[in-house]
Amino acid sequence: MTVKRNTLLLLACLVWSVAGWNVLRIGWMAYAPYRSVGNFLLSILVFSMFQVFVFGKLVRKHTTRICAYTEERKCFLCFFDSKSFVIMAIMMTGGVLIRVYHWMPEQWIAVFYSGLGASLLLAGILFGLHYLKVVSNQKKETEIKGNEG
């Protein structure tokens, strides 16, 4: 199934937002007995590290790649490249295994998942903002062409 090139940004927005919300929700559900300034600061650190070193770069990379497509329609799975799908699968599998086999203490789940989930959610929101920017720019270009003709 193919979609308009810009729709790929919207798909990335939806996928990352849903993933981020789910991970953040798991962290929040575990957080209640571990609420402290120290843990909150650790969650902010996790969020910041993932945003700066992983997801911020990922959003820029994939937005640039999608906007550079010359074809107007692409396969709906092209919102990511194969490397990103592999990374996503590894992260999801690892996250499930960590919780199912209790490889990490609940406090770690609370702190780490809250920071990671918030960063994933922000990545989704950023994809959505890029989508809105591209659509807005296209609308302006269409209006300009309409006024010239």
Q: Which carries the bigger pLDDT value, residue 22 or residue 138? A: 22
pLDDT above 90 covers a percentage of the chain that reads 87
| pLDDT (tens digit per residue) in 62-89 | 999 999 999 999 999 999 999 888 988 9
Does residue 17 sit within a domain?
A: yes
DSSP 28-55: HHHHGGG--HHHHHHHHHHHHHHIIIII
The alpha carbon dihedral of 141, 142, 146, 149 has a sign of: positive
Structural domain includes residue 51:
yes
Domain that holds residue 41: 2-136
Q: Considering the domain boundaries, does residue 23 fall inside one?
A: yes
- Residue 103, pLDDT score: 97
pLDDT tens across 118-136, in order?
999 999 999 999 999 999 9
Specify if 94 maps to a domain: yes
Contact (Cβ atoms closer than 8 angstroms) between residue 68 and residue 6: no
Chain segment 48-64, per-residue pLDDT in tens:
999 999 999 999 999 99
Q: How many domains does the chain have?
A: 1
Q: Provide mean pLDDT across the span 92-119.
A: 96
